[in-house]
Chain A
């Protein structure tokens, strides 16, 4: 089904280092992707998005890379800060005519002081 387990992979990064969070998406027809950050007890918060006609997009301290050949998405966070500690989800917009967003397995980012 579309559910994903919450035995989350965890990435531990030293404060100030760069973080790279990876996501494999499921549908080659997906044409829009979003990265979300979710802090404990809160709703997912939009970070950055990318459309399938691009392979890279940069925001403030964040970069998303899209590799359609292998259906892979990554989120790079520069100079990781303690406030970046959260669970990060990628979401793909399945362009099947009934647009819906499917969320990938989240990754827990822990920033070490």
Chain B
């Protein structure tokens, strides 16, 4: 158990809908990362938050947004869902001091199926 908690574990929704994925980082971790993993792609970096502020953006679509709250949990919002958004979405966390690399620990992921 990495200490990173993600909910829901599985989600099935229709095209055009909007979903919110939730992540609680490990205790004491200030950084939260979101990754997408689909069958025809590897682990794609989406976005990184540190202590409530966005720090880096990857290949995140405009239909997707994220935020990190004062209690450090994070939410990834996916809207106007398309079939191609079906994937496993991972949250990861780290202590996240800005000036050094830190080990990131992954949650078990949220399986999103868009039908």
Contacts and interface: CB of A to CB of B under 8 A. Distances in A.
Query: Are both chains from one complex?
Result: yes
Contacts of A2: 44-45, 58-59
Interface residues of B, number: 30
A99 B42 contact: no
Interface residues of A, number: 30
A71 interface: no
B98 interface: yes
B101 interface: yes
B42 A103 contact: yes
A6 B45 contact: no
Interface string A93-113: 101001111111110000000
A104 B41 CA distance: 11
Interface of A: 1-6, 31-32, 34, 36, 42-46, 49, 51, 89, 91, 93, 95, 98-106
